[in-house]
Structure 1
Amino acid sequence: MTRPLLGISACNRPFGEETAQVVIDRYMEAAMRHADAAALLIPARPDLMRASEAAARIDGLLLTGSPSNVDPARYGDADGNGPFDPARDEMSLALIDAMIALGKPVFGICRGFQEINVAFGGTLDRGLGDPARALPHHAAEGVPLDAMFAHRHDVRLTPGGVLARAFGRDGLTVNSVHFQGVERLGEGLSVEAAAPDGVIEAVSASPGGAPVLAVQWHPEWQSDRDAASTGFFGILGRVLRGDAIAAAPAKKGV
C-alpha cells in the first residue's frame, strides 16, 4: 500500500556565502520511521511557491523546530531576540491555514508549536530560558548538544486529552530546549500538557475537522529511546491514516 505523504517544513540557513533549505535529519527520520510515512520537504520560499500548492499534495504537515524565532511582529509585539527567518514564518503560517482549509492534519514541534499558537491568534513569552526562573526551560548557554537535551522536567497531561488517552497516563518527563513559549493561548486551542510552573507544553484542536497537535518539547531527539516520543509519532501516523483527534474542550486563555 502507498504510505501517506508527510510535508515537513524547512528553514533558511546560511551555507557559506549562500542560503540552504534545511531540515535537521532527526525530524525527518523520526517521523518517517515511527509514523511509517513518506516525506516531502517544503522549502521556506513563499516568493517561489504558494502554501496551497504543497497542501494540495500532502496528507499531513509537520512544522519542525529551529534555532530561529517567530518574528514578534507576527503576534503584535514590537521587538525581540533573533535570529529570525521571516520567510519561514510566512510559509509556515500560510501552510497552517491551507491545511486547515482542506481539513488535513497539522503537527508541530518546538518552533512549530509556537507557530501554531500564533496562527490561532496567540502570543509568545520570550523569557522562558532565563536561568533565574524557578524552572528554566533551557539548559545553560554553551553546553554540548547531549547536555542541552538532557535538561528535562515533568509535564502533567490534561485528563481526557489526546495525549493522556493515547499514553494511558497523567504525566511525562520531557526534554526542555526552548527560550520562548506560549504567553496567551490561541483561540480554539486545547491545553494537552503543562509544566509545573504552568507553562503550556502541548496543544490540540480540530478546526473544521482538521486535526492539530503540537508539543513544545522534542520527541524527535533520540526517539527510539523514549516510548512517549515514539508514541507521539505513532499518533501522527494514525492521524495521517484517518484517525480523528478528539481534543478536550478548548481553554479560552491563560
Structure 2
Amino acid sequence: MNKLPPCMVWLPADHRLMGDHGHLMPFLLLGDKYARAVKVGAQAQPVMFPLAETGDISDLLAMVDGVMLTGSPSNVHPSHFDEDVADPSLPLDPARDLLTLALVKACVHEGVPLLGVCRGFQEINVALGGRLHQRVHEVPGLADHREPKTAPFEEQYAPSHPIRLAPGSVFETWAGGAEAMVNSLHGQGISQLAPGLEALGHAPDGLVEAFGVKGAHTFAYAVQFHPEWRCWETPFYAAIFEAFGKACRQRMSLRMQAADLNRSRVTLGA
C-alpha cells in the first residue's frame, strides 16, 4: 500500500536584514509558532518557497493544499491603500507585500484554502480593496490593541479582550458561543473592510477581529488576533486550525484524484 504524500501548506517568508557590527545581510524568516501551529494544529506540513515571485504563484499553488499568511513585525506598506507612512520607525516589508497581495487574489480565484493571521489578516483586506488604520491607538473611540512588549511572551499572548462573533458563523461554532477571549498584539487594524469580505467578529470597541471571504468555495478566513500561539491549549484556537487542516486535506484529495486521472489519460494515450 502506497503511503499518502503529506498535506502541504505554503507560508510565505518575511524579508529582513540581520547582522551585527553594522554588517547586515538579507534573511528569509518564518516564525516557529506559525509553522508549529500548521504542523500540530492543522496536521499539515508547512513549506516555504524562498524567493518566490508573483509569476511563480500559479505553479506553486498547484503543488500545495493551502496557504497561511502569518503575522510579522512588519506592516503592510500604506501605499497599497493610498496613504503615506505614518511612522517611519516601524518596519516594512515591500518584498512580502508584492508576493502576498497577489497570492491572496490567486487563492480566492483558484479556491485554495486560505488562513490569515494578524499581518495576514490585514494583507487579505488590502489585497481585496480594503484600508487600514496605521495607528489604531490614536483613532478616537478605539482602544490600544498593542501588547506590553517588555512583558514575558506568556503575558503578551495572554487573553486580552473578548470578541463578539456573528450569530450562525463558523467562528461562533469554533468558539462554542457568541463570545470568545482573544489575545491582542497589533498596532494596525481595519478602517474599511474590503467589499468581498464579511465581518464575523468584533472587539468591544467595534474593530473588526475576524472575517470571511464572501462566496468562497473553500476555507477563506482571517483573524486579527494570534490563534497560532500554543493553539493546542485553547479550544477556540485549536478549532480554527483543525478546520483549516480539514479543508487542506480535502484539496489534497482533489489534487490526487486529478493527478490519477491525468496519469490514466497518458497511459491510455500511449
Q: 2:14 aligns with which of 11, 15, 22?
A: 11
Q: TM-score, normalised by structure 1?
A: 0.87
Higher helix share: 2
Gaps of 5+ in 2: 252-270
Distance in 1, Cα, partners of 2:139 & 2:100: 30
Give the SS at the match of 2:194: coil
The reply on whether 1:27 has 2:34 as its aligned counterpart is: yes
> Rg: which structure is higher?
2
Q: Deviations over 1:192-245 (max 9, x none)?
A: 1100000000010144524310000001112222111111111111111339xx
Q: 2:60 aligns with which of 22, 34, 54?
A: 54
Calculate the aligned-residue CA RMSD, in Å: 2.2
Distance in 2, Cα, partners of 1:80 & 1:10: 24
Match of residue 74 from structure 1:
80
Gaps of 5+ in 1: 244-254
Give the SS at the match of 1:9: coil
Q: Deviations over 1:64-119 (max 9, x none)?
A: 00000000001111223331100000110111122222211111000000000001
The reply on whether 1:94 has 2:139 as its aligned counterpart is: no
Partner amino acid, structure 1, of 2:38? A
Q: 1:195 aligns with which of 179, 196, 203?
A: 203
Q: Deviations over 1:162-197 (max 9, x none)?
A: 211233311100000000111000112111110000
Q: 2:133 aligns with which of 121, 125, 148?
A: 125
Q: What does residue range 35-54 of structure 1 map to in structure 2 within 5 Å?
A: 35-43=42-50, 45-46=52-53, 50-54=56-60
CA contact (8 A) 2:44 2:245 kept: yes
Match of residue 167 from structure 1:
175
Partner amino acid, structure 2, of 1:127? R
CA contact (8 A) 1:3 1:36 kept: no
Q: How many residues align?
A: 242
Give the SS at the match of 1:242: helix
Distance in 2, Cα, partners of 1:143 & 1:130: 22
Distance in 1, Cα, partners of 2:233 & 2:201: 21
The reply on whether 1:150 has 2:158 as its aligned counterpart is: yes
Shift of 1:55: 1.5
Distance in 2, Cα, partners of 1:173 & 1:57: 36
Partner amino acid, structure 1, of 2:32? D
CA contact (8 A) 1:162 1:204 kept: no
